[in-house]
Amino acid sequence: GENVEQHPSTLSVQEGDSAVIKCTYSDSASNYFPWYKQELGKGPQLIIDIRSNVGEKKDQRIAVTLNKTAKHFSLHITETQPEDSAVYFCAAIPPPSTDKLIFGTGTRLQVFP
Amino acid sequence: DTGVSQDPRHKITKRGQNVTFRCDPISEHNRLYWYRQTLGQGPEFLTYFQNEAQLEKSRLLSDRFSAERPKGSFSTLEIQRTEQGDSAMYLCASLQGSDGAIEQYFGPGTRLTVT
């Protein structure tokens, strides 16, 4: 079955710097890759997603890139702010399922003022 | 706030007791999902509903677990004879299920502690 690996497990950056989180997946047929942000005591919040027919997607300070050949995708956060501090999860949906999200193990991002 | 609500937010129970959680999805969403999240891990899929029909169940969902969505709106997840290994955050998510929408929106979760 699909396996999603996520690195690094923790990431500390200075406010204003960029942060990059990387994920790899095993099933080449996977075609949807969302990123979730989870703050303490809350459920995961969808922040950006990408489908397999697109190589990059941006939304203000966040962007996701997808390399289908290498089976990896990355989250890029620019101009980080303390409120970006949270745990970030990548996920994938492997066929034949169109619904079952397979999550990575998470990255704890700390942004220091 | 995504519009998905869960109740209760926290539940402490003794081993062997039964517990039931409720999820209210976003009103126009016809798909509803249950996930379990243990400390330091990503959520793991348990089961999902299309309207009132339960379409897929994970191997994680043992016979002690049962989920229902009787009228295609809210859903309940019951755990019978709880064990300490059931301690986790139980998350509900919903999805519109039409026009190619596949974005899942999560509720705040119910944190279960089995003592």
**Mean model confidence pLDDT for chain B:** 93
Residue B15 near residue B84 (C-beta atoms within 8 A):
yes
Residue A103 near residue B38 (C-beta atoms within 8 A):
no
Tell me, what's the pLDDT at A56?
Answer: 94
| Yes or no, beta carbons of B108 and A43 under 8 Å apart | yes
User: Distance between CA atoms of A110 and B11, rounded to whole angstroms?
Assistant: 29
* Residue A96 in this model has a pLDDT that exceeds 90: no
- In this predicted model, which residue has the larger pLDDT, B103 or B18? B18
Among all residues of chain B, which has the CA nearest to that of A46? Answer: B105
Could you report the per-residue pLDDT of A7-49, keeping only the tens digit for each?
999 999 999 999 999 999 999 888 899 999 999 889 999 999 9
Cα distances (angstroms) measured from residue B49 to each of A18, A98, A99, B69, B94: 39, 13, 10, 7, 9
Establish if A86 touches chain B: CB-CB under 8 angstroms.
no
Tell me, what's the pLDDT at B99?
Answer: 67
Report, as an integer, the average pLDDT of A40-64: 92
Could you report the per-residue pLDDT of B68-105, keeping only the tens digit for each?
999 889 999 999 999 999 999 999 999 987 766 788 99
User: Distance between CA atoms of A2 and A102, rounded to whole angstroms?
Assistant: 7
Report, as an integer, the average pLDDT of B33-43: 94
Establish if A44 touches chain B: CB-CB under 8 angstroms.
yes
Q: Smallest Cβ distance to B103: which of A42, A46, A105?
A: A46
Query: Max alpha carbon distance in chain A (Å)?
Result: 45
CA of A87 vs chain B CAs: smallest distance (Å):
9
Q: How many CB atoms are closer than 10 A to CB B53? A: 9
Report, as an integer, the average pLDDT of A44-65: 93
The winner for highest mean pLDDT among A10-14, A96-100, B25-29, B55-59 is: A10-14
* Mutate which: A53, A99, A105, A107, vs B, most B CBs within 10 A: A99
* Residue B9 in this model has a pLDDT that exceeds 70: yes
Report, as an integer, the average pLDDT of B31-50: 94
Tell me, what's the pLDDT at A49?
Answer: 94
Tell me, what's the pLDDT at A98?
Answer: 73
- The phi and psi torsions of A82 (rounded to 5 degrees) equal -55, -30
User: Distance between CA atoms of A79 and A62, rounded to whole angstroms?
Assistant: 9
Number of A–B residue contacts, CB under 8 Å: 61
Report, as an integer, the average pLDDT of B25-45: 93
